Structure formats: structure tokens, C-alpha cells
Chain A
Amino acid sequence: MILLDRVTKTYGKSTKPALSRISLHVKPKEFVILVGTSGAGKSTLLKLLTREEKPTSGKIVVGGIDYDSLKDKHIPLLRRKIGVVFQDFKLLPQRTVYENIAFALEIAGMTNREIKNTVPKVIELVGLAGKEKSFPHQLSGGERQRVAIARAVVRQPKILIADEPTGNLDPKHSWDIVRLLEKINHYGTTVLLTTHNVEIVNKLQRRVVTLDHGKITSDQAQGSYRQGKGAA
């Protein structure tokens, strides 16, 4: 599903690469947690996957699409196949919950009828029934993140990238979001989650990839990862 082969990324004239010869293979329906300290290269890795950045060298293939042969005009189509959730939610502030989620379908050219059928189901899935007409500023952090997740999964992407989705949330809401991601993974979506939260990493018992100074320092299979508090 996701394949990175000896990928290096160096920004500008910097001599130190943000990522150095990273190789990673994520299988379909897998739930992978990416951990690492600030500056380890997690965000760069996600930016490469969403094609916000181009690698300096190496090969990236996501969902069968080889990024080497991807033209700029096809990047929006690629992004429609990948769901992305951000730490700061990135919702449209002037649009309601319903409109924020529907937006993801509208840009894909879906009909109004399809949108009317799909959006309420996803709102129900993320537990926001009754909040359809609320604007983002009227919601709690946890609710905003649910909207962001609903928007990311409404097009039923094969891959969901969640970049620190619990970073701005309290423990209770963090767990709600993690459970929601597990549920989405259970329905067959590959999930790539980055987090600093050791408790979540330990409790989830999933495959954990550790990045440090732009390199993968460990790749531990499901259930074998154990890390003390504050170490991740």
C-alpha cells in the first residue's frame, strides 16, 4: 500500500538531510504508528506521502501510484485517494460541520444526491449526529478532530494519514479519536498515525516505526513495542 525505497529528503542548501535513505513498506489494512522526537523527520515523511514535498532521491509508491511518474496536474487526484488528519484540524472556519465534510465530496465532483446520502452516515460514524449545522468555533477540540476525520474518510480512502491527531486534545478526547481511527482501520483502511503519546503507543499494540534524526532506528511488529513514559 505504501512503499518507500531509500528515500532521502534534503531541504534547500542544508547539508543535513531531514530524511536519510528511508525504506518502509506498509501493507494494506495495516495500522502503523510512527514515533520520534521533534525534528526526527515524521512530518517530512508525511509531506512526501501527500506530495507536498518531493524527495531528493529514492522511490515512493502509494496505492499503486509511482510518484516519479506523477504529473503536477494529477496531484489533486492523488490527494483525493489519501485521507489526511492534522493536529490543528484544518477545518474551513466559515463552513458548518456538514459543509466541511461535504466539501471533500464536492471537489471530487459527486452529485448532491450522493453527498446527501453519504455525509449523514459519516457524521453518524464519528458520533457527531445533531451537530451538522454547527460551525467549527462552536465545537470542542475533540469534536473538531472528529469532523476532520469524517472529512478524511468520507471518500472512503484506502489510506488515512493522521499527523498528531491527539496533539491538541485532553486524554479522554484523545482516546475517543484513537478508537475512531481503530474503527476506521477495522473497516479496511490503512492507517498511518504519528504521535508523541507513549500511552497510546503502548496500549494500541500495533506496529511501531521509530524515526530518529531522519533515519528509521526501529521497526517493531504488532504488540512487541514497549517504551517508557516520555521516551517516544
Chain B
Amino acid sequence: MARKLDAKSFAQKKRGRRRWLTFIRMCRYGVNNFSRNAWLTIAATAVMTITLLIVFITLASRSTLVNSIDEIRDKVDMSVYLITDVEDSSVYVIEDGLRNLESVTKVDYVSPEQARENFAKENSSDPTTLNALNEAVNKFPGTLRIKLVDINDTTELEEFVKNDPTVQENIDKNREPSFAGERRAAIQNIGKTVDFADKVGLGASVVFITISSLIVFNTIRMAIFNRKDEIEMMKLIGADKSFIRGPFIVEAVVYGFIAALIATGLGFAALYSTKGKLLDYGIAVSPTIDFVITYIGFVLLGMILLGAIIGVVSSLLATRRYLKI
């Protein structure tokens, strides 16, 4: 019995060693193919680099776009104007009521006094206006500045303003809230434009990544087509499918690895060198650059994995048709 077990474990070990040996050989052949087919290697690596660069730039652009959109959204808030002599206790009640709404993320209150001070500061260089301000009675309203989850969805806020008795008691009837009247259209336009930019960005990302992946697939397919006789020969002398496919996969992984290093370097350099100009146009590129610097290891790993996956999938699909018995 013990002898039988020994024989079994010996056979298992032998199989394991053989598998390992086969794996090492496939890797060696893959690296050899990479180094011995100079032109093919350069062409495939270049195409893969361009693809990964497109992916990098597309993702960076999308991240920058999302950051810029978020900045715009943050700047747009809804204003509800209260009468000048509103009591603080009423303001607290209204603030609490607003904060309890699901569609509201933040509520700030600017009192009539603060509003007057702000106005004075803004016009400090204009003595006529300042004199008029000092002589006049404070007519500034109390302003509630409300930030919403979605600037296009004001339904809940509108309902609250319309139905809450404390708001109705203290609202400035002469000034419409910013989500009503003419301002409503302006805010809605901003909201729609931002949403459109977001969707176009996402769509463009998907299209660019798909097209560039197809280009890589085609290049690898052509490279493998070029060696279909080799595959045929390997089949005829008894190589099994995995042994034939293995080196092509290893080769594609090597393409992906080198291309990822180059593309990440080029992409980051492009982003960094255009930072100044983009900031001048008000494009929020800094968070994206900071992200890449902080997580450079993960970014690089992600790019390598992406390159390897595109390469492996392309190789698998391209070799499949030549591996039929």
C-alpha cells in the first residue's frame, strides 16, 4: 500500500515537474520570438503603445472632465431669499428642514447683515455706493444657499419651499428663489450642458478604447497570420494546443508590458507639460495629476494588466482558427 502511494506521489511530482518545465519553455519561446522577430516586435509594440497611450489619455481626460464638472456643480447653488427682519430661530427651523431633505447636500445661511458687509467689501473702492449704503436702511434679504445632489432635480426643494409654513411666513415675496422664474432656465441649462459633457466624455472614452483595442487585435492577428505555417508545423509534429498558444501569449504579454511602461511615461509627460495651459482655461487637471503621482504604482500595474489582457485576448482569438485539428 505504502509502495503504491509512493508510486502515485512520484507520478504526481513528475507530472508537476513536467508542467513547470513546459511553462518555462513556453516563456522562453515567447521571449525568443519577441527578440528574434525585430520588425514584427517593433510594429506590435508601437501599436500597443499607441493604444495604451490613447487609453491613458482618454481616462485622464475623463477624470479631468469629471473634476471640472464637479467644480461647476459645486459652484451652482440654489438660493431662497428670506425677509430682512427674519428671526434667527425661524432660520434654524428652516435650515434643519432643508438638511433633512434627501436631495440637499449642504445649506449655508447669509444673514442680511453679512450680505450688507459683503456688498460693502465688494464696493470698497466706490465711495458713492458706500455712502448710499451707510445712509440707507438695510434692505438685504437673508439668503439660504442650498447645494443639491443633482442640480437638475429641484422637485423636493420646490415642494418644501411651497408647503413649509415657516418658509412661507418668512420668504421674501419680492424675490423669487433661484430655481424659479428666469434663473431657473439658466440653472437648468448649466445642468443639462454639464450632463451632456459627462455623457459625451464617457461615450468618447468607450469609442476610443474599443477602436484602439481592435487595432491591437488586428496587429496581433496579422503577426500570427504571418506565422500560420509555423503553427501548422507545430501541430503536425505533435505539439498540443496549449504548447503552441503559450509562446504567442507570452509574446503578447511582453508587448503589453513594454508598451505599458512607455505609454504611462509618455501620457504622464503629456499631462504634466500641458498642466499650466489647461489650468489657464479653468480645466481642473491638478486632481488627476496628483492622483497619478500618488498612485503611480497602481496606475502602472493597471496599464500593464490592461496591455497584457488586450494582448492575451487578441492572441487567443487569433490563434484559435489555426489550432483546429
Contact = CB atoms under 8 A, between A and B. Distances in A.
Interface in A34-87: 50-52, 72, 75-81, 84
A18 B234 CA distance: 26
Contacts of B32: 94-95
Contacts of B21: 109, 111-112
B127 interface: no
A91 B230 CA distance: 8
A152 B243 CA distance: 18
Given A90-B229, A94-B32, A94-B37, A107 B325 contact: no
A54 B235 CA distance: 16
A122 interface: no
Contacts of A108: 238
A104 B233 CA distance: 11
A5 interface: no
A79 B25 contact: no
Interface residues of B, number: 21
A105 to B, nearest CB: 10
B230 A84 contact: no
A92 B230 contact: yes
Interface in B101-135: none
Nearest to B237: A104
A98 to B, nearest CB: 13
Kindly state the interface size class of chain A when it binds its partner: 20 to 34
Which of A91, A107, A111, A151 has the most C-beta atoms of chain B within 10 angstroms of its own C-beta? A107
Contact of A76 (B18, B36, B37, B238): B238
Contacts of B229: 90
Given A106-B25, A111-B21, A94 B33 contact: yes
A84 to B, nearest CB: 6
Interface in B230-245: 230, 232-240, 243
A224 B53 CA distance: 72
Interface of A: 50-52, 72, 75-81, 84, 90-95, 103-104, 106-109, 111-112, 151-152
18 contacts: A50-B236, A51-B325, A52-B236, A76-B239, A76-B240, A77-B238, A78-B238, A79-B237, A84-B237, A90-B229, A90-B232, A91-B233, A92-B234, A103-B237, A104-B237, A107-B237, A151-B237, A152-B237
